[in-house]
Chains A and B, each alone.
Chain A
Amino acid sequence: MRVVVAEDLYLLRDGMVRLLEAYGHTVVGTASTGPETLEALRTLKPDVSILDVRMPPTQSDEGLRAALAARSEMPGLPVLILSQHVEQLYARELLADGTGGVGYFLKESVFDADQFMDALERVAGGGTAMDPVVISKLLASGSSNRRLEALTEREHSVLGLMAEGLSNQAIAKRLFLGDSAISKYTTSLFGKLGITDDDSSNRRVLAVLAYLNRAG
């Protein structure tokens, strides 16, 4: 895959490039500031990009802004945000357009390189990949959404794993269930969340959105 890496710390950027190349990907461009990132995304149109949230010149959320700006110009442009911390607020903003192709992870998730590459490929393929920390925060904060309350415990955990971005096969493996059982659960929870088959957007993304919008 053609990848753009935006990270202001040289050591991290360098390490990331090496890791990506070790897994056989091509790093077509790097950036270390917000404007550079936006420029690289616009001109290079990579298969996927890995962005840091906090970057110069403002040391605020430059990376996130660049991602949102680029995605509003090129809907569905795959971006994976890597951050020192995860916030539901940022996750919501990323998912708000409902088109998929987004990921939001803690930086240390690259320690488990196999899983990280897996997530990166999911994002590149238009799926979502959310850090389990975000999802567990959502689960812990309870749900006030009536639709979500209708879910059974098993459907809840399936939705949680789906929100992390796992495929049906992966969920089946994680929960020690068969593939057919998982597809039964997903069908019923899509039904309960009011997500119909003919929705043009990614149904999995919509399910995650339902999760995130539980309070608002």
Chain B
Amino acid sequence: MRGLVKWAADAGTGFWRAAALTAVSMVVPAVWAAAVWLMIAWGSPWAATAPALWAVVATFLLARPICRTFRFFRRSWTGVVVPGGYREPVPAVQMSTGYWWNGSSYAKSRREAEKDQRLRMLWSDPATWRDLRFVWIAPFMVGIAAAVPLAGVACLVWGILDPGLVSILLAGVGLVAAVGAAPYAWRVIAPVTDRFLRGSPAMILADRVDELTAQRADTTVAQAAEISRIERDLHDGAQARLVGLGLSLATAEKLMENDPETARALLRDARAGAAASLSELRELVRGIRPAVLNERGLTDAVRAFALDSPLETTVSTDVQLSLDAPIESALYFGVAELLTNAAKHASATKATVLIARDSTSIAIEVEDDGKGGANEQNGGGLAGLRRRLAVFDGDLKITSPVGGPTRVRMSVPCE
């Protein structure tokens, strides 16, 4: 009984989906049918060129919205995102001459520049030609299959309105066909969109190259900044102190015989200076890579950080991790950043850190009981964290409604 109800429900939604698919995939054939009808109606061969021209333009303009609709259906019905791979226009910029440059030509106003760019993009984007191909393929490969339930219903209606031996027989066949095909007919969308609507491998590759180039630039800049920070800290801090230490020792050596009291005081200062430069060096090293991380690995390093954190933090994990050092560092500093944010900006009192891994990735989730409202625009730290994870193809998910709680999940793929 329950199976039957479920099947009926499937048939119901399937019927509407099939109807929607048929409608969308038949738009272009309908346009052309109208054009042919007009040509025949007008008769004269010269008058016929106009409808043909309109049909061409309409196909060209409709291709992209139709493909977007297919992608939308695919995403909302099956949860699979088929990437469009369309080229993005570069923003038009005003030159010192007052003209606008859109990447390929000058125009007097921004609007003109952007219009020109849109047309150019539409023409030169390989995705446009793929979309055009698709709107011709769709009626045959999607439209016909999806139309089966509709045709069945049409037969049924015809049989009821015009009862006769043939039509009643046809109505029966129609009913069976409609009900039988409804839950399945719309599913044809999956293989067809996968095969014909995906960006071409070249396009996906080009996107990936762009992404990696941007990441490399980011990383290089960040590393250079970090190195110059370390250099500055060493130069102004420990290095200067050691020079002072040497001076004190030299002076003490000189004073040793004549003024042992002052010499002793200088030696005491020197000792304090050595201790201070050691603690400076320690802080510096900790900022590069904390010692516990080297000695114990990620889990214990996070535990050690949690102990020093003003939040009451529980760290739970059931895995033994052996990660590459750069990934370990990135995740450690990520947790450190999140816990620091929670204490500083969200006025949280408690936090939990959950470390888990599956066969393909490692994920760390940090949750606090703070006031929430964290986002990447306000906190430059979160955007930075996303960039640092992106280097490893990692991902950052933030859920932080105003009023809390904040939950941030970092994940990095690894074997």
Interface residues, chain A, with chain B CB atoms under 8 Å away: 53-54, 59-61, 84-85, 87-89, 92, 106-108, 111-112, 137, 140-142, 144, 215
Q: How far apart are the CA atoms of A14 and B89 in the complex, in Å?
A: 68
- Known contacts A85-B286, A108-B279, A111-B275: does B307 contact A60 (CB below 8 Å)? no
**B103 to nearest A CB, angstroms?**
53
Contacts of A142 in B (CB 8 A): 310
B292 on the A face (CB < 8 A): yes
Chain A interface mostly helix, strand, loop or mixed? loop
Does the CB pair B294–A60 fall under 8 Å? yes
Does the CB pair B296–A144 fall under 8 Å? no
B383 on the A face (CB < 8 A): no
- Known contacts A54-B295, A141-B307, A141-B310: does B300 contact A89 (CB below 8 Å)? yes
Does the CB pair B307–A84 fall under 8 Å? no
Closest A residue to B277 by CB, please name it: A108
Does the CB pair B292–A87 fall under 8 Å? yes
Closest B residue to A113 by CB, please name it: B271
Does the CB pair A88–B307 fall under 8 Å? yes
Closest B residue to A137 by CB, please name it: B308
Does the CB pair B304–A87 fall under 8 Å? yes
**A140 to nearest B CB, angstroms?**
8
Q: How far apart are the CA atoms of A61 and B300 in the complex, in Å?
A: 12
Q: How far apart are the CA atoms of A144 and B271 in the complex, in Å?
A: 37
Does the CB pair A53–B307 fall under 8 Å? no
Contacts of B294 in A (CB 8 A): 54, 59-60
B87 on the A face (CB < 8 A): no
Does the CB pair B308–A85 fall under 8 Å? no
Contacts of B290 in A (CB 8 A): 85
Q: How far apart are the CA atoms of A159 and B382 in the complex, in Å?
A: 39
Q: How far apart are the CA atoms of A80 and B308 in the complex, in Å?
A: 22
Interface members, chain B 267-322 (any A CB < 8 Å):
271, 274-275, 278-279, 282, 285-286, 290-292, 294-296, 300, 303-304, 307-310, 312-313
Q: How far apart are the CA atoms of A59 and B304 in the complex, in Å?
A: 18
Interface residues, chain B, with chain A CB atoms under 8 Å away: 271, 274-275, 278-279, 282, 285-286, 290-292, 294-296, 300, 303-304, 307-310, 312-313
Contacts of A53 in B (CB 8 A): 295
Contacts of A140 in B (CB 8 A): 310
Contacts of B309 in A (CB 8 A): 141
Q: How far apart are the CA atoms of A59 and B278 in the complex, in Å?
A: 20
Does the CB pair B274–A108 fall under 8 Å? yes
Does the CB pair B278–A107 fall under 8 Å? yes
Does the CB pair A88–B295 fall under 8 Å? no
Closest A residue to B306 by CB, please name it: A215
- Known contacts A53-B295, A60-B296: does B286 contact A89 (CB below 8 Å)? no
Q: How far apart are the CA atoms of A137 and B312 in the complex, in Å?
A: 14
Contacts of B308 in A (CB 8 A): 88, 137, 141
Does the CB pair B292–A108 fall under 8 Å? no
In the assembled complex, 24 residue pairs joining A and B whose CB atoms fall closer than 8 Å, in A order, are: A53-B295, A54-B291, A60-B295, A61-B296, A85-B285, A85-B290, A85-B292, A87-B291, A87-B292, A87-B304, A87-B307, A88-B304, A88-B307, A89-B292, A92-B307, A106-B279, A108-B274, A111-B275, A112-B271, A140-B310, A141-B307, A141-B308, A215-B312, A215-B313
- Known contacts A108-B274, A111-B274, A112-B271: does B307 contact A89 (CB below 8 Å)? yes
Q: How far apart are the CA atoms of A107 and B279 in the complex, in Å?
A: 10
Contacts of A87 in B (CB 8 A): 291-292, 304, 307
Q: How far apart are the CA atoms of A54 and B292 in the complex, in Å?
A: 10
Closest B residue to A88 by CB, please name it: B307
Does the CB pair A108–B307 fall under 8 Å? no
Q: How far apart are the CA atoms of A87 and B291 in the complex, in Å?
A: 9
Q: How far apart are the CA atoms of A5 and B264 in the complex, in Å?
A: 29
Q: Given known contacts A106-B279, A111-B274, A140-B310, what 10 new A-B pairs fall within 8 Å (CB)?
A: A87-B291, A89-B292, A89-B307, A108-B275, A108-B278, A112-B271, A137-B308, A141-B308, A142-B310, A215-B313
Q: How far apart are the CA atoms of A144 and B311 in the complex, in Å?
A: 9
Contacts of A107 in B (CB 8 A): 278
Q: How far apart are the CA atoms of A54 and B307 in the complex, in Å?
A: 21
Contacts of A137 in B (CB 8 A): 308
Does the CB pair B295–A111 fall under 8 Å? no
Closest B residue to A212 by CB, please name it: B307
- Known contacts A54-B291, A60-B294, A108-B279: does B312 contact A144 (CB below 8 Å)? yes
